[in-house]
Amino acid sequence: MEDPRGMDPAELTADQNGRLYSLYQHWLGARNPEGLVPKSAFDAFAIMPWLGLVSIYQRLAEDYVIRLDGTEIVRMTGEDWTGKTVAALDARYGLKLGESLAIAVEEQRAVYHPVRHLAARPHFTAARLLLPVSADGATITHVVMSLIPNEKEPASVVTPALY
């Protein structure tokens, strides 16, 4: 089972996964002095290079609801979880995505998992990046999740999971 804390995304290189690396750099560049990233930095125009490869999770009191599941993520996983909760996703697949999201929110940091086997395509791996953002400028209200196929497999332990 994977560590919900993930790895430090600073270890991610453009050589490993250029698209994920550039998304992380976009998030870093959008941080304000308080360390928050405005949700507006992830509107459809701003994330055009990654459109379809991101999902938006809205923070609720005790859970997260998937407001948007990217079209390419749906294609990769074979399922559209838009409108459903992360708790339901975790329960169905025995995941710890909710724990990883809580870490991203509470610590206001990106959470990076370099290698994930997709349940719909077990021979296929992708890297996942969780990026907390703020719609109100004061607290983390959403998490942007990106699941991007690995261009090169990083040297790390491979753990099975869906998202």
Q: Is the model more confident about 37 or about 78?
A: 37
Reply yes or no on whether the pLDDT at 18 is more than 90.
Answer: no
Q: Is the pTM of this model over 0.85?
A: yes
Would residue 50 count as lying in a domain? yes
Is the residue at 69 inside a domain?
yes
Strands of 47-141, DSSP E: 54-59, 64-68, 111-118, 121-133
**Residue 13's pLDDT band (boundaries 50, 70, 90)?**
confident
Is 46 within a domain?
yes
Q: Give the SS3 label for residue 105.
A: helix
Interatomic CA distance for residues 138 and 117, integer angstroms = 35
Residue 160 lies in a domain: no
27: helix, coil or strand? helix
- CATH code, 95: 3.30.450.20
75 Cα distance to chain centroid: 16
**pLDDT band, very low/low/confident/very high, at 2 (cuts 50, 70, 90):** low
